């Protein structure tokens, strides 16, 4: 059954959520990740502490991590500057320190759910955690992570078979990663979870 096209209509912006993730390389070979989330509205809105003016944040929060080259979290903290319930929203005792020890590439989202879901944390900071693995992968790709040759143990580059475009039986892999190209049947047999290969640098 085909869906009906959405009719053209005038529109007006009522809400904006901005997410920003920055990754910094440190001189001690660790990395800092700063992830921010800001919600704002285009009209005044009544909140528990009074009227929040148009353009002022409803939420403004930052999650900060220190990670190593293997993407294991060494330090973690959070700060909430704007919130709808001052005195309550930020009273979780920085539960996000519980992220320490998790690895962004191995079981991270399940670990976040176990440690910080529901009343254990903040809805929006916990949601913000979900974007961290792919953001850090983008930061590491081609420098910390070898995206061309794969691992010394013979594993393909980590990105192969992790999305539709880079499936091992597809044209992109056949053209740009011919060493790792497989026919469809071979690709199905070879598909299995694997560890993230790092470059030797």
Tell me how far apart the alpha carbons of residues 29 and 93 are, in angstroms, rounded to a whole number: 29
pLDDT value, residue 60: 97
Report the pLDDT value the prediction gives residue 185, as an integer from 0 to 100. Answer: 44
pLDDT of residue 201: 43
Count other Cβ atoms within 10 Å, centred on residue 96: 26
The pLDDT value recorded for residue 189 is 61
> Mean pLDDT in each 10-residue stretch from start to end of the chain (201 residues)?
72 97 98 98 95 96 97 97 91 92 96 95 96 95 74 73 86 85 62 53 43
What pLDDT is stored for residue 2 in this prediction? Answer: 57
Fold of 15-140: Sufe protein. Chain: A (3.90.1010)
Predicted TM-score (pTM) of the model is 0.79
Domain extent listing, the chain: 15-140, 146-193
Measured CA to CA, the distance from residue 35 to residue 115 in angstroms comes to 19
């Amino acid at each position: 059954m085909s869906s009906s096209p959405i009719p053209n209509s005038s529109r007006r912006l009522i809400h904006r959520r901005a997410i920003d993730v920055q990754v910094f390389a440190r001189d001690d070979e660790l990395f800092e990740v700063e992830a921010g989330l800001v919600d704002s509205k285009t009209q005044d809105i009544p909140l528990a502490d009074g009227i929040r003016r148009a353009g002022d944040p409803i939420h403004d929060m930052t999650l900060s991590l220190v990670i190593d080259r293997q993407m294991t979290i060494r330090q973690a903290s959070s700060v909430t500057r704007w919130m709808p319930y001052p005195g309550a929203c930020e009273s979780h005792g920085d539960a996000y320190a519980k992220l320490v020890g998790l690895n962004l590439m191995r079981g991270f989202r399940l670990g976040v759910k176990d440690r910080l879901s529901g009343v254990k944390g903040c809805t929006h900071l916990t949601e913000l955690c979900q974007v961290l693995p792919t953001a850090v992968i983008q930061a590491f790709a081609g420098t910390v992570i070898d995206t061309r040759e794969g691992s010394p143990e013979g594993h393909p580059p980590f990105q192969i078979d992790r999305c539709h475009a880079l499936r091992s039986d597809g044209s992109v892999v056949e053209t740009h990663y011919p060493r790792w190209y497989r026919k469809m049947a071979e690709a199905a047999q070879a598909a299995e979870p694997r560890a993230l290969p790092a470059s030797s640098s």
